[in-house]
Amino acid sequence: MRTATRGARRDEGLGEDSTDVTRRVVYARAPRHLHVQLEIVSPLRDARFGALLDAAFQRAERESRLARELARSYPDFDAGLSLLATDGGEPLGCALFVPRTIRLRGAWVRVAIAAPIGVHPMARRRGVGRFLLQTGLGALKDRGLRGAVVIGASEFYGAFGFESAFNAYVQRVPVHALPTEGDTSSWRGLAERDLAGLPELHARCLAEVDGCERRHAAAIEWESAAPGSYTVVAERAGALEAALRFRVRADVELSECVVAGPAGVDLVLRFLRRLAREHARGRVDTHLPPSHPVARELFRRGAVNETNRLGGAARLAVVDWPGLYTDTAESWLAALERSRVDAVSLGLGGVDHELAREGTRLRVAARRNARSHLAVPPGWSAGLVTGQLDHADLAFAHGADAGLARAFFPGGTPQWSYAPVFEIADE
């Protein structure tokens, strides 16, 4: 039996139960009534992977192309996390786990996108999807990743600890709220030389936003491979001032944007005016978190700002709570400081962990603190960690200690975000 272990680079068999033989960890039990084998295969080199995704999603060259693009060019692609389930050589299902680093509680945290996962329509509801997902989640924890994020398929992911965690934001911008077009000649297509500066601009623009990804200086992180979607940049005196990604569907949509400063905001607004004119639209929709400088300016100019929680479909499952507490230690230490206690226990993820100040460090122990404990109801953990839910929900609906709740769960604007390459699989 072999495993989805760190650094696995070749096609390997995983055996019936997915087991790490070196550490004797069983990630998941194979469904009893099937002779399922798991293999690690490359979406680029093994045609079975893409064929199965096309069959599972019942459309050609969407999820399968996405998997190939990620395997070919995504810097953090982990070859040991693309799994194929077979029965007697017959492919039944496959799953891809894509490591990404996102901002949670003000810190960078390594998680993975647990998608796409597909099971052949003839093999459904027999536990193959469960086996693939549980194996992948076990392998993520082994690699030091703290959780997994997904969007959609709630009836499936909801059964495995994935909870609503991220929001979507829309600013509906009537053309008259935009400045006159003026000169937009500083805008041009994205070039290789722009990549070096974009990750830092992105992180700065979205500094307050949980869910924001840490991007690489790689084209796949900025360019959209989806038809009808474009990334453009604006330069002033040789320096990158702004970049944005837009697509024209029923409306002109700005799906992403970074700016270096107020001049960049102005350039973006004028370019939006030009897009509205060129595509004969009376309105532009932008999808930016409320703290983004462009969203702030649009709001000031009269745009309607909408927030929704994507119907609860954008989810997070934490696979390593102590690891997550450690990565986000600063935020918990600040909460202990604010609530003037040295230790508190939180019942997140169905397990009680005590968080205590030890000098300047955070000590995490799996136990309940008899004096200070915040109980979190099932289904709320991910939302409270990202800030989708906050202290007011907890204190109002569950009678939690309002002071403690306020210090530990201040709330936020966690945006569902993903790099342009994932648009390949968008509806």
Least distance from C-beta 132 to ligand COA, angstroms?
Answer: 8
Cβ closer to ligand COA: 156 or 230?
156
Q: Whose Cβ is closer to ligand COA: residue 123's or residue 257's?
A: 123
The only residue of 56, 113, 201, 405 in contact with ligand COA, by rule CB under 6 A: 56
Give the number of other Cβ atoms within 10 Å of residue 24's Cβ.
7
> Residue 77 or 131: which CB sits closer to ligand COA?
131
Q: How far is the CB of 413 from ligand COA (least distance, A)?
A: 25
Q: Give backbone dihedrals phi and psi of 72, rounded to 5 degrees, phi first.
A: -75, -45
CB of residue 212 to ligand COA, shortest distance in Å:
22
In whole angstroms, how close is the CB of 29 to ligand COA at the nearest point?
A: 12
Residues facing residue 286 across a β-bridge = 171, 254
By CB under 6 A, the count of residues binding ligand COA is 20
340-346 contacts, C-beta under 8 A, 24 or more apart: 341/372, 341/404, 343/369, 343/372, 344/369, 344/372, 344/373, 344/374, 344/404, 344/408, 345/369, 345/372, 345/373, 345/374, 346/373, 346/374, 346/376, 346/408
Structure-token pair, residue 264: 């960049």
The DSSP bridge pattern shows strands 343-348 and 373-375 to be parallel
* Measured distance CA(1)–CA(26) in Å, rounded: 10
- AA identity, residue 165: A
- Does 376 engage in binding with ligand COA (CB under 6 A)? no
Cα distance between the two ends of the chain: 38
**Nearer Cβ to ligand COA (15/152):** 152
Name residues contacting ligand COA, limited to 311-330 (CB under 6 A): none
- Other beta carbons within 10 Å of 170: 17
* Between 153 and 351, CB nearer to ligand COA: 153
User: How many CB atoms neighbour CB 96 within 10 A?
Assistant: 26
SS3 content of the chain, % helix, strand, coil (to 5): 35, 30, 35
Nearer to ligand COA among residue 190 and residue 425 (C-beta) = 425
154 burial (CB, 10 Å; 0-12 / 13-18 / 19+) is middle
Nearer of residues 119 and 205 to ligand COA, judged by Cβ:
119
Cα(130)–Cα(118) distance, integer angstroms: 11
User: By CB under 6 A, which span of 114-122, 136-144, 171-179, 341-349 interacts with ligand COA?
Assistant: 114-122
Based on the shown chain and the rule CB under 6 A, indicate whether residue 44 belongs to the binding site for ligand COA.
Answer: no
As measured in angstroms, the least distance from the Cβ of 275 to ligand COA is: 31
Which residues in the 115-174 window bind ligand COA by CB under 6 A?
115-119, 124-130, 152-153, 155-156, 159
> Could you tell me the CA-to-CA distances from 228 to 248, 323, 423 in Å, in that order?
7, 40, 11
Taking the least distance from each CB to ligand COA, the nearer of 319 and 344 is 319
Stretch that binds ligand COA, among 103-111, 112-120, 196-204, 416-424 (CB under 6 A): 112-120
Q: How far is the CB of 318 from ligand COA (least distance, A)?
A: 19
Residues 71-110 touching ligand COA, rule: CB under 6 A, are 93
Q: Is residue 30 close enough to count as binding ligand COA by CB under 6 A?
A: no
* Site residues, ligand COA (CB under 6 A): 56-57, 93, 115-119, 124-130, 152-153, 155-156, 159
